[in-house]
Structure 1
Amino acid sequence: MSPYFLPIGALILWLFYGVIESSIKDKKINFSVLKNKFTYLQGIILVILIGGLTYYEEPCIKLIFDSIVTFLLFALALVDIKEKVVSNKVIIMLAVVSVASVFVINKDNLINVGIAFLVISIVVFLLSKFTNEALGYGDAILLSILSLYYGLDGILMVLFLASLFVAIIGVFYLIKSFKNRKKEMPFVPFILVACILVNVLQ
């Protein structure tokens, strides 16, 4: 199967995900999300993101994993933007994919992955605790899970890029609205962008 089917598959999965999510909330089958133009706009953005991966990466199993991780991070980012929380359901799905990747695409790099998970978990949870959750526990869990997928070098690059983007946007907000210095910014969208860049560069 051509990897260029992945972006279209991502759009179909995104619409299916929307139906399932709204049906769970309403406790009955709900297709109203398919009438929402914003849902399709989100899907188009997802198609562009995954389409970029197919352009830069050779067709292989890693491309499929990258696309799944991007899909799940995209879902997490939207929830983080809307509700300022990290969805536990999506985190669990991402954890399953990341653990699977250890045995499929990272099986020759187990020591690096193990060190990455241990180091990143300790650092981000201590950072979250001693900064009064400036880095939320949900974000800390997400970064720990992603360390299983990216390994030490990859997750450090994700952390660096995400922090850099937050700093740049933070300065912009500070200049634009100096009185609102305590404005909270969702971190997951920056992690999403950083992960895509690392996927492309690796």
Structure 2
Amino acid sequence: MRIVLASASPSRRMILTNAGVDPLIRPADVDEDALLASLSHATPARRVAALAEAKALSVAGEFPDDVVIGGDSMLLLDGRLQGKPHTPEKTVERWGEQAGKAAELLTGHCVILGDRKVVETTSTTVHFADASEADIAAYARSGEPLQCAGAFTLEALGGWFIDRIEGDPSSVIGLSLPLVRRALYSFGLDASHFWTR
């Protein structure tokens, strides 16, 4: 039995690898914009969970005997969900909105084994530094935050600009190990079963 990660996220892969797991990577093909549009009246937590669930379900049929994990993250800032900025210009704009503020990073998770499924969203409060314009421009040019929810990372260059978090650090990086552990336990599995070292 393996862990299959329905994501191309290098951060999610890194979390599992650092936790002793060698996941099989099968990125999901999901129309995120269409799904979010269909859930426009749902709560932010439900919308993020739905993205994770859609990703896991799109891959799970190929791996009925393995644990499939789907995940997605978005930043809830001033009542609005923020996804990936994709461009340096949008990154600078986002940081202009969030510098010096606190926001909730919502990370949706879906863990599937056969016909059993755990769907849950974690919420971690992120306190953004009042970073200088020069630093944010340099950070945007680095390319690192372009494919990251909320236009930041915790584990790399972005760590310079996060004053503190309240909640699960692994969830902020992209995948909550405590949540995955609880899901595995609910399936009657131990986390250590998946360790390769």
Query: Structures share a fold, TM > 0.5?
Result: no
- Greater share of helix: 1
Greater relative contact order: 1 or 2 (C-alpha under 8 angstroms, separation 6 or more)? Answer: 2
Q: TM-score, normalised by structure 1?
A: 0.26
Larger Rg: 1
